[in-house]
Structure 1
């Protein structure tokens, strides 16, 4: 199996934990409390600003034209398309521009973005893109899992449709191909480090939803 298929199979228990998390099961049912989703979208907007920087740095470090194009396009999508989705949800769920501006990252959000920034600043290109991939791939799996069972009407339908869209799946496939290509040309030590980066980022995905569900803040 390819690098990506292997690590994806290895984290199957974590993926099940994500799909079974009450944030997502309640979101699919349309019963997720609005305050938990409001917490999520504010934190996600803070996350995406940093994720876009990680994508831009991956584009700058990419050794191929395909990598430079894909990651620079991904950074643009993170800034433009998903930001537009947030703005729609901000209006729907009563988040003002002032509220969003004054919000600070929660421990889960700050830990995740700091981890990606550390990969970008101190680790190899291969590790960086392995750490970037779970945000694509996990959301694609979540979107595909949630959409068939989602209640209708559903206040979270736009969010579900975004991550179940074929275009998002195609973007995920392209990033996965870049990661597999990098792994194929890497040393065993680098492939091991890539697996660690992928695994950690996937763990942060679970932590992000769990934090939003609990509306977690700094404990002190």
Structure 2
């Protein structure tokens, strides 16, 4: 069993917790409060701006042409999603550009992006891409899981369709292959560090949706 299959099985309880979260079940049902989705989409816009930077760093550090191409393309797509899907949702849910620009990252958003930035700045390339992978893989699993359950019409259908699209699954497969290849060539210590990065990033995935559902803000 390869690295990705092993760590995916290890984080199965986290994945079940994500799929069971009311943010996602209510999103599929079309009953998620618009204020919670508004919180999510603004924070996700802030997240993707930083995620694109991390992907660009991964591209620069990648030892292979395949890695440089994949992560540079991923950075471009992250910006395109922010500019396209998010801007459409901003209009739909009444978020002005000035409003979005004035929002601070939530504790969960800042924690997640800061963690990825710390991997990019201070850890190995192998750990970095293991930390990058959950944002692809968890969203792909979520999109595929909730699409069959989603009501129609659904105000959140474009979001669901984006992450259940075959093209997103193909991108996930390519990143997973890069992580598996890196793990196969790594020492046991580096593989352990990769597993830790994957686990932490997956925890942050749950925290991000939970923070949006609760419309988290700074306590003081």
Task: Give the shorter-chain TM-score range.
Answer: over 0.9
* Cα distance in structure 1, aligned partners of 2:82 and 2:116: 19
2:49, 2:82 within 8 Å by CA — same for their partners in 1? no
* Cα distance in structure 1, aligned partners of 2:204 and 2:45: 16
Deviation at 1:80, TM superposition (A): 1.2
Which residue pairs with 2:98 in the alignment? 98
Which residue pairs with 1:124 in the alignment? 124
Q: After the TM superposition, which segments of 4 or more aligned residues of structure 1 sit over 4 Å from their partners?
A: none
Deviation at 1:219, TM superposition (A): 0.3
SS in 2 for 1:149: coil
TM-score calculated relative to the size of structure 1: 0.99
Which residue pairs with 2:151 in the alignment? 151
Aligned residues: 220
Which residue pairs with 1:174 in the alignment? 174
Which residue pairs with 2:62 in the alignment? 62
* Cα distance in structure 1, aligned partners of 2:50 and 2:92: 24
TM-score calculated relative to the size of structure 2: 0.99
**What does 1:135-146 align with in structure 2 at a 5 Å threshold?**
135-146=135-146
Deviation at 1:81, TM superposition (A): 3.1
* Cα distance in structure 1, aligned partners of 2:151 and 2:46: 28
Where structure 1 has 5 or more consecutive residues not aligned to the other structure, the ranges are none
2:119, 2:127 within 8 Å by CA — same for their partners in 1? yes
**What does 1:185-196 align with in structure 2 at a 5 Å threshold?**
185-196=185-196
Deviation at 1:83, TM superposition (A): 2.6
Asked if residue 15 in structure 1 is aligned to residue 7 in structure 2, the reply is no
Deviation at 1:184, TM superposition (A): 0.1
